[in-house]
Amino acid sequence: MHGLRVPKKEGEKVRQVLVEKELLLPHYRIKRDDTYLYFPVREGIPGYDLVDCAFEERKSHPESVKKFGLSSFDIIGDIAVVDIPDDMESKKMEIAQALLQRKPIHTVVEKVSKVQGEYRVRAFNHLLGEKKTETVHTEYGLKFHVSINTVYFNPRLSTERMRIAQEIQPGELVTDMFCGIGPFSLMISRYSQAEKIYAIDINPEAITLLEENIALNNIKNVIPILGDAKEKVPSIGHVDRIIMNLPHNTLEFLPLALQYGDVIYYYTITSDIQGEIDRMVALDAPPFNICGYRTVKSYSPDMEMYRIDIETLT
């Protein structure tokens, strides 16, 4: 069987890439020696050697989640977050019990509302395990204090955050217009040579957690800013890059971003990407060029999350 040989210090970063790309074989245990981790994989990724390995098979739990047909769930720290379809409502406690058998899950909650309100939060219902809503989530070696019912956090964007960090050039200034607890900002700080990252959010709880995360990860160049982006972006002034991760309302803020950034990463959720681009072009706003777009992830059966890359022309 193939094993991907990875230096231990890079293990978490590579593991998350393998999970995102669905290359990690979950039914086998990761091996390790004094220097390397060996991941059981379907195929390799650039930069790491594939070697022949014998992996120990994991014992499958009889009440596996797949048995119930639940297609996906999120893990934030040690909290599993599930969205139970109506036709599985009668089985939700069995699903929760199956999830609780998985490491590192200690708590299982279900979504009971959509993301809503100015602070972009949702409501949850506790199902099983510890009754808590706070946890520490690890992403590419960074640790994040998260309070799932008071701040917005999406663990499925970890690879996207790394992609952005890798595009930042040495000495650049970055504004993260809707930073939440800081996953984009801290990823950029850790994995680029940006001079400074201005991290704005209107949610006081998000900024409090961001400040904790800055200290927890020994970050020096992220500046937390509490307030409305419409007021704070002009006070920061011109920067090299702006991140706009507010996918249901990004269009409203685009004219402002175009005044203060050279490159803009514009996130949107839509079933009609060309229609979104047409609405952007129709704005009364400074001139800009759309360099391209890519699908970030699926949002629903008929909608996708996209990133549109923009360059200003002024």
Instruction: Mark whether 41 and 108 lie in a shared domain.
Output: no
- What CATH number has the domain bearing residue 46? 3.30.70.2580
pLDDT of residue 68 exceeding 90, the answer is: no
Q: Quick check: 114 pLDDT over 90? A: no
Q: What is the pLDDT of residue 61?
A: 46
Backbone φ and ψ for 60, nearest 5 degrees, come out as -75, 145
- Are 196 and 254 in a shared domain? yes
Whether 57 is in a domain gets the answer: no
pLDDT digits (tens, 9 = 90+) for 161-218: 999 999 999 999 999 999 999 999 999 999 999 999 999 999 999 999 999 999 999 9
Q: Considering the domain boundaries, does residue 219 fall inside one?
A: yes
The overall average pLDDT reported for the chain is 91
Residues 228 and 279 in one domain: yes
Question: Does residue 110 share a domain with residue 164?
Answer: no
- For the chain, the first-to-last Cα distance in angstroms comes to 55
Is residue 20 in some structural domain?
Answer: yes
Residues 293 and 211 in one domain: yes
Instruction: Over range 31-55, report the average pLDDT.
Output: 86
* pLDDT at position 71 over 80: no
289: exposed, middle or buried (Cβ count in 10 Å: 0-12, 13-18, 19+): exposed
Residues 39 and 79 in one domain: no
The amino acid present at 78, given as its one-letter code, is: D
Number of domains, the chain: 3
Say whether both 182 and 275 belong to one domain: yes
Task: Categorize the per-residue pLDDT at 65 as very low, low, confident or very high, splitting at 50, 70 and 90.
Answer: low
Backbone angles phi, psi at 240, to 5 degrees: -75, -40
- 144: in domain: no
pLDDT tens for residues 149-171? Answer: 999 999 999 989 999 999 999 99
Q: Are residues 307 and 162 in the same domain?
A: yes
What CATH number is given to the structural domain containing 92? 3.30.300.110
The three-state (H, E, C) secondary structure of the chain, written as one string: CEEEEEEHHHHHHHHHHHHHCCCECCCECCEECCCEEEEEECCCCCCCEEEECCCCECCCCCCCHHHHCCCCCEEECCEEEECCCHHHHHHHHHHHHHHHCCCCCCEEEEECCCCECCCCECCEEEEEECCCCEEEEEECCEEEEEECCCCCCCHHHHHHHHHHHHHCCCCCEEEECCCCCCHHHHHHHHHCCCCEEEEEECCHHHHHHHHHHHHHCCCCCEEEEECCHHHHHHHHCCEEEEEECCCCCHHHHHHHHHHHEEEEEEEEEECCHHHHHHHHHCCCCCCEEEEEEEEEEEEECCEEEEEEEEEECC
14: CB partners within 8 A, 6+ apart? 4, 6, 37, 39, 45, 48
- 149, part of any domain: no
Of 3-12, 39-48, 114-123, 246-255, the range with the lowest mean pLDDT is 39-48
Looking at the fold, whether 18 and 119 belong to one and the same domain comes out as no
Q: Let me know if residue 148 belongs to a domain.
A: no
Domain identity same for 243 and 270: yes
- List all residues 6 or more positions away from 201 whose beta carbon is below 8 Å from its beta carbon: 178, 179, 180, 207, 210, 225, 226
Residues 120 and 71 in one domain: yes
CATH code at position 285? 3.40.50.150
* Degrees, nearest 5: CA angle 227-217-250: 35
Domain co-membership, 71 together with 40: no
Whether the CB-CB separation of 230 and 205 falls below 8 Å is answered with: no
Range of the domain at 45: 2-52
d(CA 44, CA 88): 37
The per-residue pLDDT for 62 is 41
Contact 151, 226 (CB under 8 A): no
